[in-house]
Amino acid sequence: EMRYLVPGDYMADPAVHVFNGRLYIYPSHDWESGIPENDNGDHFNMKDYHVFSTDDVMHGEIKDHGTVLEVKDIPWAGRQLWDCDVARKGDRYYMYFPLKDKNDVF
């Protein structure tokens, strides 16, 4: 049996973790850029990250926690929030992510 865990919007390269018995999915959200595809990946337009979670992958409700970080919220950001990861220490969660700066450099 196959089941989609995220909506039809293009969500890519998710980090997936189990915290406190619940599965959390952290995908980047790719929007149509209108830029022709090339070897530099300029056509990718990942503007934000979302979080989804469930306590039962096959049959449980998928909770959409919404957008947790957007390019516009990062002062040094240029574009393209690529695949992230998340770590937990105590009660704090840390998101690590690559993106191009205002000079278009990762």
Q: Kindly report the length of the chain.
A: 106
Q: Could you give the CA distance from residue 88 to residue 71 in angstroms, rounded to a whole number?
A: 22
Q: Stretch 27-49: mean pLDDT, rounded?
A: 90
The 10 Å Cβ neighbour count of residue 3 is 9
pTM of the full structure: 0.88
Q: How many helices (H) and strands (E) does the chain have?
A: 0, 8
Q: Could you give the CA distance from residue 9 to residue 22 in angstroms, rounded to a whole number?
A: 23
Q: Could you give the CA distance from residue 23 to residue 2 in angstroms, rounded to a whole number?
A: 17
pLDDT tens for residues 46-99? 999 999 999 999 999 999 999 999 999 999 999 999 999 999 999 999 999 999
